[in-house]
C-alpha cells in the first residue's frame, strides 16, 4: 500500500508521524505521537471499499471508539477526509502473540484464551464482531497486558451487514459460515478463538495452512479436527466444542466458553493456575472463581458429529448411511445457501447469549446400506467429488443434488482399447488420468463435467497393462505402475503435451500394482507382485532413485499402499491376507511397526487412512471391510466388527476429505458408510 504521508499529516495536524509499524489486509499502520498530550499512538490507514463510498465508516468508527475494555485496544480518534480513512489508537509496544507463542506453557495459552474471550464478550455485547481473531491481532502493552486489536476493521471495510457478502478473513482461522458467505454471529469469532487455542496448545492449527486454499476451506466446512495432541482431555473438549461446524453447536456465548475453559484448566493445572501464568489478566469475578474450582469442572458437551470418546482415534463403530446430497455440495456458494439455515422471518437472530431456535431441528440419518450399482472403479470418482466438487458449479462428476442416486454426466469416456484398471483426479479436479489394459494412459479434461474430452495423445512406453496411476500433490507429475515390472514418471504440467521423465524405475521382479506419492511429493511408494514395497526419491523428477532396501515381510503379492497425511507411516495390503504398517519417517531406513494386522480370510485388496491418520480401512476378498485403530502405530487393533453387505470381494476403499464417510466397492456395487 502506497501512502502519501503529506496527505496523512494534513488530515492529522496535531500528530507527528513516525515510521511504519506493519501492514495488514486492510491497511497500513504508522507510528505517531500526539503533540499536545505527548502520547504515542498507532495510526491505521484503511483501504476504502470497492465502491469508494464513505457511508457507514463513521458510524462504525464511533462504535469502535466507544469500546473501553482492559483487553481491547483503545481507539482515540477517527478521521475521514479527502478519501483517507484513519483510525488513531493506543500504541502497543510489547510485541505480538505471534512472537511470544513459541514454547508458550499450556497455562499461559489458556490465559490467552480467557483474555481474548473477555474482549470478545465485551464487544459482542455491543454488537461488534471482530471477524479476524488470530495471533497477529493480539498484542501486548509495555506492562505485558494482552490487547485484542483490529476490532471491527473487517466490518468497517464491508459495511454494517452481518451476512458476509464476500469471503474476508485469515483462511486458517475462518469459520465455516465465513467461507460459505453465510450469517455471521459471535459464534464466528468463537470458532477463530478455538483455532487459535488449538494451535497455542498443540503447536499446530487444526488444519494445515499450507494446503491449497480450496482444500483448506473444505476441511473447515466438513472435517472434524483431530483431538489436539498432548492437551489435557478437559481442555481439548472445550476447544473442540468451539470448533463445531454449525454455529448453533458451539458454546452459547464467549463468556460461557470462558467459564468452561477456566473450569477445565483448573482441573488440569490445579487451583490458582491463573495467578501462576505470565499473562496479565483482567477477568470477571465468576471467571476467576471458575479458575479455582477443579472439582466442578464441567466437560463441554460434544457437538453433533464429533467423536465423544476420550481415547484418541477411536471413533464409534460406523454404520452404513444412504447417500446424502449434502456430502457433495456443487459449490461453496451452494453450501452458503443451504447451511446454516436462515432464521425464520419473525424469529430471533443469533446473539451473544442465544442461538436460533431452528438449530434444534436436526436432520436424522437412516441406518442402512445404500448400494450404487455402478462400476467398481467409480469409487475413486465418487470420493474425489468430496475434494473437487466445491471448486466450481459444474464440477461434480455425478449430479447428486437432484436425486439420491448419482446420475451420469455426459457420455462415457471411450478411447481405450481394453479395460480401465485405475483412475485418478489431479488435485485441481480438472484433469482425470486413466490406466488401460492396453499399456497406455490417457488424460481427460473434465473441467466441463458434461463434456469431458481427451487431452493430447495416449501416454505410451509401458510394454504391458498399466495397473495404477497417481498424481503428485502439486499435480505436475503423474506416476504409473505396470505389469511390465516398472514404474514411470510423466511430466503433465502441460496437459496437452505430457512427456516421460527420465528412465523407467526398475527393480521389482514382478508386476507393480500400486503407486502413491507421499504428501510432500518427494517420495513415491510402489507395491509389487514380488511381495515387496519400494520407496523412491523423486525430488528430482528426471533422476529418481531407490531409497534404502525393499520393504519385505509379506509372503505374497502386495497390491496396495497408502501414506498417512503426515507422510511418516505407510500401510500395505497383500494377498497373504494381512496388512502391515511401516515407519517411513526415515526414508532411507524404513522399518515395520508392530505385528501384521490379521483378520481377513482372503486377499486384502486396498487400504486407506482417515485424514487424521488414526483409523485405517481395509478391503478384502472375503467380502468385508475392516477398520483398525492405528493411533498407536506399534499396537494397532481392530475396531468393531467387519462391515458386511457386499456379495463379492471388496476391491477398493476410500475416505472423503472430512473422514466422515467411507466408500467401498466390489464388482456389483459401491457402498457408503457413516464414520460418525
Q: For residue 240, give the H/E element and its range.
A: helix 233-242
Radius of gyration over alpha carbons of the chain, in Å? 28
Specify the 3-state DSSP secondary structure of 388: helix
In angstroms, the CA 341 to CA 336 distance is 9
Residue 629 · residue 314 · CB < 8 Å:
yes
Of 108, 132, 520, 586, the active-site residue reads 132
Specify the 3-state DSSP secondary structure of 231: coil
In angstroms, the CA 342 to CA 38 distance is 50
Region of 623 on the Ramachandran plot (φ > 0 left; ψ -120 to 50 alpha; else beta):
left
Specify the 3-state DSSP secondary structure of 61: helix
> DSSP letters along 12-30, please?
-TTEEEEEEEEE-SSEEEE
CB half-sphere exposure, 376, CA atoms < 13 A: 20
> DSSP letters along 484-521, please?
TS-EEEEE-SSTTS-EEEEEEE---SS-EEEEEE-TTS
Helix axes 254-269, 106-124, angle to 10 degrees: 160
In angstroms, the CA 111 to CA 94 distance is 17
> DSSP letters along 78-130, please?
EEEETTEEEEEEE---S-BHHHH-TT--HHHHHHHHHHHHHHHHHHHTTT---
Terminal CA-CA length for the chain = 47
Candidates 509, 555, 503, 564; CA nearest to 534 is 509
In angstroms, the CA 72 to CA 96 distance is 14
245: annotated binding-site residue?
no
Residue 579 · residue 572 · CB < 8 Å:
yes
Residue labelled with grid coordinates 471448486: 391
Let me know if 326 is a catalytic residue. Answer: no
CA dihedral angle for residue 200, residue 129, residue 327, residue 206, rounded to 10 degrees:
0
3-state helix, strand, coil in the chain (%, to 5): 20, 30, 50
β-strand partners of 22: 29
Q: For residue 75, give the H/E element and its range.
A: strand 75-81
Annotated catalytic residues are: 132
Binding residues for ATP: 44
Binding residues: 44
Amino acid at each position: 500500500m502506497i501512502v502519501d504521508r503529506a496527505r496523512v499529516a494534513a488530515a492529522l495536524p496535531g500528530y507527528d508521524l513516525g515510521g511504519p509499524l506493519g501492514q495488514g489486509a486492510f491497511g497500513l499502520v504508522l507510528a505517531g505521537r500526539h503533540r499536545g498530550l505527548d502520547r504515542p499512538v498507532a495510526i491505521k490507514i484503511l483501504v476504502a471499499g470497492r465502491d469508494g463510498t464513505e457511508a457507514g465508516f463513521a458510524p462504525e468508527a464511533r462504535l469502535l471508539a466507544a469500546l473501553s475494555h482492559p483487553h481491547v485496544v483503545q481507539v482515540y480518534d477517527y478521521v475521514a477526509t479527502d478519501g483517507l480513512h484513519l483510525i488513531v489508537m493506543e500504541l502497543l509496544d510489547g510485541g505480538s502473540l505471534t512472537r511470544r507463542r513459541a514454547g508458550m506453557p499450556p497455562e499461559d495459552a489458556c490465559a490467552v484464551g480467557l483474555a481474548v474471550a473477555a474482549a470478545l464478550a465485551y464487544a459482542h455485547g455491543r454488537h461488534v464482531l471482530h471477524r479476524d481473531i488470530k495471533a497477529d491481532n493480539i498484542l501486548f502493552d509495555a506492562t505485558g497486558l494482552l490487547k485484542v486489536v483490529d476490532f471491527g476493521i473487517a466490518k468497517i471495510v464491508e459495511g454494517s451487514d452481518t451476512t458476509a457478502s464476500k469471503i474476508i478473513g485469515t483462511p486458517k482461522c475462518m469459520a465455516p459460515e465465513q467461507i460459505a458467505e453465510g450469517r455471521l454471529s459471535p459464534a464466528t469469532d468463537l470458532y477463530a478463538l478455538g483455532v487459535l487455542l488449538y494451535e497455542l496448545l498443540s503447536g499446530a492449527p487444526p488444519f494445515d495452512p499450507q494446503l491449497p486454499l480450496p482444500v483448506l476451506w473444505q476441511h473447515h466446512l466438513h472435517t472434524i479436527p483431530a483431538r489436539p495432541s498432548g492437551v489435557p482431555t478437559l481442555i481439548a473438549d472445550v476447544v473442540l466444542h468451539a470448533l463445531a461446524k454449525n454455529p448453533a453447536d458451539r458454546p452459547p456465548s464467549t463468556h460461557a466458553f470462558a467459564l468452561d475453559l477456566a473450569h477445565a484448566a483448573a482441573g488440569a493445572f490445579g487451583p490458582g493456575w491463573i495467578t501462576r501464568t505470565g499473562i496479565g489478566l483482567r477477568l470477571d469475578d465468576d471467571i476467576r472463581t471458575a479458575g479455582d474450582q477443579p472439582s466442578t469442572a464441567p466437560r463441554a458437551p460434544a457437538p453433533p458429529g464429533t467423536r465423544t470418546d476420550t481415547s484418541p482415534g477411536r471413533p464409534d463403530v460406523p454404520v452404513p448411511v444412504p447417500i446424502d446430497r449434502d456430502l457433495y455440495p456443487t459449490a461453496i456458494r451452494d453450501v452458503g445457501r443451504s447451511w446454516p439455515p436462515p432464521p425464520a422471518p419473525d424469529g430471533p437472530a443469533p446473539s451473544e447469549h442465544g442461538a436460533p431456535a431452528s438449530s434444534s431441528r436436526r436432520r436424522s440419518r437412516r441406518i442402512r446400506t445404500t448400494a450404487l450399482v455402478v462400476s467398481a472403479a467409480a469409487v475413486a470418482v465418487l470420493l474425489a467429488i468430496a475434494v473437487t466438487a466445491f471448486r466450481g458449479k459444474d464440477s461434480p462428476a455425478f449430479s447428486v443434488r437432484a436425486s439420491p442416486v448419482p446420475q451420469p454426466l455426459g457420455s462415457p469416456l471411450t478411447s481405450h482399447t481394453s479395460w480401465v484398471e485405475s483412475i485418478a483426479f489431479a488435485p485441481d479436479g480438472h484433469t482425470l488420468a486413466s490406466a488401460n489394459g492396453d499399456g497406455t494412459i490417457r488424460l481427460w479434461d473434465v473441467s466441463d463435467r458434461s463434456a469431458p474430452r481427451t487431452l493430447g495423445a495416449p501416454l505410451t512406453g509401458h510394454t504391458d497393462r498399466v495397473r495404477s496411476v497417481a498424481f503428485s500433490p502439486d499435480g505436475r507429475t503423474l506416476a504409473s505402475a505396470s505389469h511390465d515390472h516398472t514404474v514411470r514418471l510423466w511430466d503433465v504440467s502441460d496437459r496437452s503435451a505430457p512427456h516421460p521423465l527420465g528412465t523407467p524405475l526398475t527393480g521389482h521382479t514382478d508386476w507393480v500394482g500400486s503407486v502413491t506419492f507421499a504428501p510432500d511429493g518427494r517420495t513415491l511408494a510402489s507395491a509389487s507382485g514380488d511381495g515387496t514395497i519400494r520407496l523412491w526419491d523423486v525430488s528430482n523428477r528426471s533422476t529418481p532413485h531407490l531409497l534404502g532396501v525393499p520393504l519385505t515381510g509379506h509372503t505374497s503379492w502386495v497390491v496396495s499402499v497408502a501414506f498417512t497425511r503426515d507422510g511418516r507411516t505407510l500401510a500395505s495390503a497383500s494377498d497373504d491376507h494381512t496388512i502391515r504398517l511401516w515407519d517411513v519417517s526415515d526414508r532411507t531406513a524404513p522399518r515395520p511397526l508392530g505385528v501384521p494386522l490379521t483378520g481377513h480370510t482372503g486377499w486384502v485388496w486396498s487400504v486407506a487412512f482417515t485424514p487424521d491418520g488414526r483409523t485405517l480401512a481395509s478391503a478384502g476378498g472375503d467380502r468385508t471391510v475392516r477398520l483398525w485403530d492405528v493411533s498407536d502405530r506399534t499396537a494397532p487393533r481392530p475396531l468393531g466388527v467387519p462391515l458386511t453387505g457386499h456379495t463379492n470381494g471388496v476391491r477398493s476403499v476410500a475416505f472423503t476429505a472430512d473422514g466422515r464417510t467411507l466408500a467401498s466397492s466390489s464388482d456389483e456395487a459401491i457402498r457408503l458408510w457413516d464414520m460418525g
